[in-house]
Amino acid sequence: MRIKKCLFVAVLWTTIMSAGAQKGVNNGTPYGSGEDSIRCITNISLFTPYAKTNNFQDAYPYWKEAYEECPGATKDLYLYGVRIINWQISGEKDPAKQAALVDDLMALYDKRINYFGNDPKYGKDWIVVRKVQDYIRLKGEDGVDATLVYGWLKEILDEYGEKTESLGISLYMFASYKLLQKDADAHKGQYIEDFLKCSTLFDSRLAAAKTAGDEKETTTLEALKSGIETAFANSGAADCATLESVYDRKISENRNDLNFLKETITLFRRAGCQESELYFTAAGYAHQISPTAESAIGLGNQSFKKQEYEPAEKYFTEAIAMATEDETKADIHFIIANIAYTQKNYSKARQNCLKALEANPKLCKPYLLIGTMYAATANSVSDDPVIRKTAYYAAVDKFERARQVDSACAEDANRMIATYRSYFPSTEEIFMHPDLKDGATITVGGWIGERTVVRK
């Protein structure tokens, strides 16, 4: 009788559990209820040890059942789910089935957003960026649906704004670039706006990273920023005519919007459109509101274009005082050097070339300019026609240095080296000047005043 009673209780308990059972996916709880809850917990406890040791084959059936029945139970369903599906993809040879598995992986990311998108550290934005990374990796850059990726990331950028992960910003520009390649006429204006927005975000982050002394973050941001700038420069969208057509009315309509004006000035400068009247107009509006290095550069370029050298130098000097980046200061010093060169003030030109190199040692054009000035003023070095030719040694030194620091100058430097080597003192001329024997170190006279080596 007691055994029958126990059996009755067991059956009754099972019935109660079955009646109250419900999957987490149906009732909105992490584990569900009743037997479904027990099964969910059991499956999680069974798949996890297998997944941790990369035994995805044995993990899969337990993971799949938990993933489908109680998707809100734990983030481990998604952490290991990504690995499990990637394992399936790597082992699948049928293209159609492989494509279906990629869709499953994308759906997994979406489901994670649904259940864990509010996670303070690994929330919706983080999840979408990893989704895009996997999508691009699996589809290949040429196989991605750029419209799809652009839509995913635009939603994140619109929602998170300045807080968007840097990698997400970079991938957003990748998608925008792909859309430009697909239909330049339809997407060119938007691509320019995307670049301007994302470039500004990187600029502010770089400034913060440098201020904080975070070298690792600075290196990462510089690489990401360089990537989108290189793509922009090679996109064909950055021609001045296009920028002028896009911004013609916008500049006058936003003449009191300082942020817009600053971004526009930066864009025109990066595109090499400092000769555009719209660039000058935007710089003028911005300078009236709040003078900045960018606006001062713009007004300096305008004066330089008009050959009004005194006000040009004034604006450029102001720009140096306000600039925060060494690269910008270097560029401005080189512009002032060119103004001085135009006025044949060679000492001042060299002084600013050296300041440019101090701010940015990677520049090569200042070396070319110094060498050009040395060669141009050889006759001022000495009354002796042979000694005058020693200026070409110093000039070639600078041309050689230019091609060493940046291969971008190699072609011009090689041409100048070939030209001015032919002006070196001949063997006969050196024979008549014992102080110019081959290999001797000499000081070139006049304003040059540089030490160099006699050679053939």
In the block, tokens 């006058």 appear at 252
> CA-to-CA distance for 127 and 116, rounded, in angstroms?
9
pLDDT digits (tens, 9 = 90+) for 284-306: 999 999 998 888 988 998 898 88
Decide: residue 256, CB within 10 A, 0-12 exposed, 13-18 middle, 19+ buried: exposed
Residues 6+ apart with CB under 8 A from 51: 59, 63, 76, 80, 83, 84
Work out the pLDDT band at 141, boundaries 50, 70, 90. confident
Mean pLDDT of 22-26: 56
Residue 233 has pLDDT above 90, yes or no: no
Looking at 189-203, 232-246, 351-365, 377-391, which range is the least confident one? 232-246
**pLDDT, tens digit, 9 for 90 and up, residues 86-103:** 999 999 999 999 999 999
Mean pLDDT across 399-425: 95
Q: What is the pLDDT of residue 227?
A: 87
Mean pLDDT computed over 135-164: 93
CB of 175 closer than 8 Å to CB of 146: yes
Supply 88's token pair.
């399936």
Instruction: Calculate the average pLDDT of the chain.
Output: 88
- Which stretch of 130-144, 194-208, 227-241 has the lowest confidence by average pLDDT? 227-241
More confident residue, 242 or 99: 99
- More confident of the two residues 131 and 32: 131
What integer pLDDT is reported at residue 81 of this predicted model? 96
Identify the pLDDT of residue 6.
38
Residue 13 confidence (pLDDT) above 50? no
Residue 452: strand pairing partners? 442
3-state secondary structure at position 443: strand
The per-residue pLDDT for range 39-92, each reduced to its tens digit, is 889 999 999 999 999 999 999 999 999 999 888 889 999 999 999 999 999 999
Residue whose tokens read 């489908």: 68
Q: What is the 3-state secondary structure (H, E, C) of 352-401?
A: HHHHHHHHCCCCCHHHHHHHHHHHHCHHHCCCCHHHHCHHHHHHHHHHHH
Q: Which tens digits make up the pLDDT trace of 345-356?
A: 999 999 999 999
As a whole-number percent, the residues of the chain with pLDDT over 70 amount to: 93
Rounded-to-integer distance, Cα 71 and Cα 68, Å = 6
| Range among 254-258, 305-309, 392-396 with highest mean pLDDT value | 392-396
Q: How far apart are the first and last CA of the chain?
A: 119
**d(Cα 441, Cα 439) in Å, to the nearest integer?**
7
Confidence label for 31 from pLDDT (cuts 50, 70 and 90): low
The pLDDT tens digits for 311-344 are 999 999 999 999 988 998 999 999 999 999 999 9
DSSP secondary-structure letter at 22? B
